[in-house]
Amino acid sequence: MASARMAALAVLALMSACSAEARVRPPVVSLSIYSRSESAGNILVGEELAGMGENSTSSQSGFNVRKAVGNLATYQKEHPDFAEGVAIWMLVGNSLFIIGVIMAIFSEVKAVLICRDQDFRKSLWDNGFMKPSSAGIAELEERESMQMRPRAYLTFLSLLFMYIGIGCMLYPLCDVLDIIGLPTAPCFVLVVFGSFFASFCVLTFILFLAWSCTRFYAAMAFLVISVSGMLLLPTGNVILIIIWMVVTFGGGYWYFKYLPEFYSASGDELPFWVQDVGELSVTWDAAEWGETMNTAFTNFTSDVKNSVPTDASALLGEKKK
């Protein structure tokens, strides 16, 4: 399967066609991508482009790069709003992707800060400077539990936003592939499954960056998942992708779920290399989602208020007397 290579060729052809077209088009914007019946088979290539492309072929047998660029340029001239439609898809996709990245960063950084506070208190308990029954500890732990409650939902929502965003960015390439004469069947696989795995790799990389300062070994696990996926998925090799999926999801379950539960049930202490990053489970209860989103909004507004100085003296770093 060479879906990644075909997508790269489609992008190259689209960029070449856009640069080859010199005339000014009216500013018509449309979300529509034309049906595949209006594709390469019904488009005549200019004599000059056809002549130039007779002896130039790509590494794929039967595919002519210059002819593909000519087909795309001609199609764009006949449908002036085609490029604008592609640009709108790209704009929407990038916007959703950025929203997903911001949600993931906010969710995980919040969780990391809470875990660092809990680790600090534990070190105080271990060294005898504080007791778990000290005044205010119970209320603090309850407040931290409420703040961690939306974490899993925000993280999964961020994955959904990134998945839809990447899908929107890849969708126009299906029409470009059809116009330039390449098979479009792998494009469906690329948009549906490629978008999910790409967004999953991005999310695990964000998890690595967030947790690297406090959960080194868990962060390394996220990094291995992310980098291996980014290297293997573009190859389009089905066997390699299946192996990556088995190792990634199976290994992730073993490290983050099975081992902590096993050592907890046996009463033994966790090995130093087994590190917890918090609960990441969600329910399908609509009421639970509503309460969680309300808590997330409350946490966000509280963080914003706490980060804004209340007076000029606080802004200048002066202490009140």
The 10s digit of each residue's pLDDT in 153-168 is: 888 999 999 999 999 9
Give tens-digit pLDDT for 39-71.
Answer: 444 444 444 444 444 444 444 445 666 776 777
Q: Distance between CA atoms of 71 and 17, rounded to whole angstroms? A: 9
**241-257 residue pLDDT tens:** 889 999 999 998 999 88
Range from 47-61, 202-216, 256-270 carrying the lowest mean pLDDT: 47-61
DSSP string, 125-162: HHTTS--TTSTTHHHHHHHHHHHHTTHHHHHHHHHHHH
Residue 173's Cα: distance from chain center in Å? 19
Question: Which pLDDT does position 182 carry in this prediction?
Answer: 64
**pTM of the complete model beyond 0.85:** no
Q: Which two structure tokens, joined as six digits, stand for 84?
A: 């604008």
pLDDT value of residue 13: 52
- What's the rounded mean pLDDT across residues 188-211? 90
Q: What does the alpha-carbon distance between residue 273 and residue 320 come to, in Å, rounded to a whole number?
A: 46
Give 21 or 110, the one with higher predicted confidence: 110
**Measured distance CA(176)–CA(71) in Å, rounded:** 10
Q: How far is CA 214 from CA 189, 249, 270, in A?
A: 37, 23, 16
Q: How far is CA 102 from CA 149, 169, 207, in A?
A: 18, 18, 12
Distance CA 118, CA 87 (A): 47
pLDDT attached to residue 18: 53
CA 35 – CA 21 distance, rounded (Å):
22
Lowest mean pLDDT among 92-106, 115-129, 153-167: 115-129
**pLDDT surpassing 90 at residue 17:** no
Cα-based distances in Å from 239 to 15, 23, 108, 187, 242:
32, 47, 33, 18, 5
Q: CA 171, CA 191: separation in Å to the nearest integer?
A: 6
Give the whole-angstrom CA distance, residue 321 versus residue 58. Answer: 76
Mean pLDDT of 27-40: 41
pLDDT at residue 128 is higher than 90: no
Average pLDDT estimate for 278-290: 71
Residues 6+ apart with CB under 8 A from 68: 9, 13, 40, 180, 181, 182
* Confidence band, pLDDT 50/70/90 cuts, at residue 304: low
At 281, is the pLDDT very low, low, confident or very high (cuts 50, 70, 90)? confident
